[in-house]
Amino acid sequence: MISNIESTVVSTRIRLARNLADYSFPSVLHSAKQAKEIVRAVYDAASGARAFKLYHMGDLSDNVAQALCDDHLISAELAANKKYGAALIDESGGDMQEGKFSIMINEEDHLREQYIADGLCLPRAYGLLAAFDGELSRQLRFAFDAQLGYLTACPTNLGTGLRASVMLFLPALTRLRKMERVVREISRLGHTVRGVYGEGSAAEGFMYQISNEVTLGVTEEYILSEVQRAALELVSLESQARKSLREEDETGVRDECMRDYGILRYCAKISFEEFLQRLSGVKLGAALGFIRVRDFRALDALAARARPANVGLLSDGALTAPERDVLRAELCRRELAENTEG
């Protein structure tokens, strides 16, 4: 049986906003020479610590840019900044269980350092990113004020520059229409909850992200423990909601989950939207014990691989949407046949 935490928490993300003391903030930086200097300086400093690959936004194909956005490794804003924007992506090849480092350069701040990994691992994730940040700080002079802390382009990031996020899969709370109340209560605690790809609806896989609002006047440890507490509260609420869902109409829920599973096991083509919706049913079915899954995490990895941009990367040539739908169905059939038992 999969634990509630494993079947609810998808991943943890830590982000640190940093700026270089010797340059203007990106929004007021109008010199290509300076922008290049920043990219070079960050790249040199980061490469000392890990093997990064440098991506210039101006050089990226739309498909690769989209794939990096979908993976939360760059933002849409950075991708749009084709003139000065760049990103360093950890290419040490580890999977998401090991986690992945990245740095956006010349986004809203000079640096947005990030570490993302599977599961609930806020202290570990912060520890790793903080150590990495420490190494960078030995070679880069960060804009820092003794009283305010790290200086950032937007005051909402001032101080620690830390945003700690946890991605959660909340199908039962969503289906029982309890999310609105939950979001209200969580925001009262100083956190935000929002859909990872939009509204968090069925079509988006019932995925939500909780993260801290406040970055100033609190310690990093306080932020981490508060986000962790709220995330665990959400896990517990979701687990109660799953129990209610099951008690209300076990056959109905089982039927829905198993039909989603049957379709993903055998379909010959499928759009990403439908895939995401049906995969949510499979994940819920696995969480409720209807479907045996060898590796629950692999279902989220499959969701990532099935995204349009990632499916697009499976072929050398440009693929049409119908061609992607066929490849996605193939991927899906194979993975589920290997990883699950209905």
Interacting residue ranges for a copy of itself, rule: CB under 8 A = 251-252, 254-255, 258-259, 261-269, 322, 326, 329, 342
For residue 320, with 0-12 CB atoms within 10 Å meaning exposed, 13-18 middle and 19 or more buried, which class applies?
Answer: exposed
Q: Between 163 and 328, whose beta carbon lies closer to a copy of itself? A: 328
Contact 207, 197 (CB under 8 A): yes
Least distance in angstroms from the C-beta of 247 to a copy of itself: 16
- As measured in angstroms, the least distance from the Cβ of 8 to a copy of itself is 23
Shortest Å, Cβ 330 to a copy of itself: 11
Full DSSP string of 309-339? HHHHTTSSS---HHHHHHHHHHHHHHHHHHH
Cβ closest to a copy of itself, residue 10 vs residue 311: 311
Q: How far is the CB of 324 from a copy of itself (least distance, A)?
A: 12
Q: In DSSP terms, which residues pair with 87 in a beta bridge?
A: 55, 104
Instruction: Please say which residue, 199 or 255, places its beta carbon nearer to a copy of itself.
Output: 255
Q: Tell the smallest beta-carbon distance from residue 278 to a copy of itself (Å).
A: 10
Which residue type is seen at 74?
Answer: I
Q: Min. distance of Cβ 265 from a copy of itself in angstroms?
A: 5
Closest CA to 114 of 15, 199, 262, 188: 15
**Minimum CB separation from a copy of itself for residue 333, in Å?**
9
In this complex, which beta carbon is closest to a copy of itself, that of residue 135 or of residue 323?
323
Contact 309, 70 (CB under 8 A): yes
Cβ–Cβ < 8 Å for 291, 302:
no
Query: What contacts 119, CB < 8 A, 6 or more positions away?
Result: 5, 6, 9, 11, 12, 97, 297
Closer by beta carbon to a copy of itself, 121 or else 264: 264
Is the CB of 56 or the CB of 254 nearer to a copy of itself? 254
Tokens of 241: 């909601």
Q: Where are the alpha helices (DSSP H) in the chain?
A: 4-8, 32-49, 62-70, 76-80, 122-137, 171-175, 179-188, 220-248, 250-266, 272-287, 297-305, 308-312, 321-339
- Residue closer to a copy of itself by CB (options 147, 251) is 251
Give the dihedral sign, CA 163/164/170/175.
negative
